[in-house]
Structure 1
Amino acid sequence: MSIVKVIEVIATSTKSFDDATQNAVKEASKSVKNIISVYVKDMSGKVENNSIVSYGVTAKISFKINKEG
Structure 2
Amino acid sequence: MTLHLNASDSVSQKILSFLESLTKQGESVEIIDDSIYKFEKQGISQGLKQVENGEIYSTDELLEELKK
TM-score, length of structure 1 as denominator length: 0.27
* Bigger radius of gyration among the two: 2
Of structures 1 and 2, the one scoring higher in RCO (CA 8 A, sep 6+) is: 1
TM-score, length of structure 2 as denominator length: 0.27
Higher strand share: 1
Higher helix share: 2
